[in-house]
Chains A and B, each alone.
Chain A
Amino acid sequence: RKEVEQDPGPFNVPEGATVAFNCTYSNSASQSFFWYRQDCRKEPKLLMSVYSSGNEDGRFTAQLNRASQYISLLIRDSKLSDSATYLCVVDGGATNKLIFGTGTLLAVQP
């Protein structure tokens, strides 16, 4: 089983749609969780951290379910500019490493 698993997509959605991505992780000792955004042929950039209580930043909501070991990202009112690959990132437990998922590709259509 991969340490971090994501549905690769692509998710093709119309503008204004709500879309949700899930990510599962295998290490129950993981404590830190993040969503990064990567535009085509660019470097990843932090979108948001994921806290136990869940957190929201504008149109973006992140949730953590420790019992089931998954995190989610919800994007409301999708914009064309949201088109990118969304990377789920989890810390490697006792190590000083971050484990990156393969990413989920989102394509927002006009």
Chain B
Amino acid sequence: DGGITQSPKYLFRKEGQNVTLSCEQNLNHDAMYWYRQDPGQGLRLIYYSQIVNDFQKGDIAEGYSVSREKKESFPLTVTSAQKNPTAFYLCASSSGRAYTGELFFGEGSRLTVL
């Protein structure tokens, strides 16, 4: 079955540690996105990539980094510079530009900083 796989589903991190969230898709989609969701807030865009080896900052990129070395993979690193990293992180992909079609989401990764 085609889809997006995020791992891990739950992650606990100590302050000062970097952590990498995995996102893999087998939908053959060109575009991939990382969102963050906090209670009472809408999804906020962290980074997005429209093609391999290229990515752009979203609205809240500070403290995060990404890479897009393969079409299928778009990992997100939450660095120690991110002040409030505890959140629900969602990876998504789309076949074309986001505004022309559907976004397909992974099941999300819940990060808790202890």
Q: Which residues of A contact B (CB under 8 A)?
A: 4, 8, 31-32, 34, 36, 41-46, 49, 87, 91-92, 96-103
Q: A91-B98, A96-B50, A96-B99 are in contact. Are A42 and B107 (CB under 8 A)?
A: yes
Give the residues in chain A near B98, CB-CB below 8 Å. Answer: 91, 96-98
Considering the complex, give the chain B residue whose CB is closest to the CB of A36. B103
Give the residues in chain A near B108, CB-CB below 8 Å. Answer: 42-43
* Complex Cα spacing A42 to B105, Å: 10
Q: A8-B40, A100-B42, A101-B42 are in contact. Are A45 and B105 (CB under 8 A)?
A: yes
Question: What are 27 inter-chain pairs, A to B, with CB distance below 8 A?
Answer: A8-B40, A31-B99, A32-B100, A41-B88, A42-B108, A43-B90, A43-B108, A44-B90, A44-B103, A44-B105, A45-B105, A46-B103, A49-B102, A91-B98, A91-B99, A92-B99, A96-B99, A97-B98, A98-B45, A98-B98, A98-B99, A99-B42, A100-B43, A101-B42, A102-B41, A102-B42, A103-B42
* Complex Cα spacing A26 to B55, Å: 26
Give the residues in chain A near B99, CB-CB below 8 Å. Answer: 31-32, 91-92, 96-98
Give the residues in chain B near A103, CB-CB below 8 Å. Answer: 42
- Whether A44 contacts B43 by the Cβ 8 Å rule is yes
- Whether A43 contacts B50 by the Cβ 8 Å rule is no
Give the residues in chain B near A36, CB-CB below 8 Å. Answer: 103
Verify if B63 is at the interface (C-beta below 8 Å from A). no
Could you tell me which residues of chain B, from 21 to 47, have a CB within 8 Å of some CB in chain A? Answer: 31, 35, 40-45
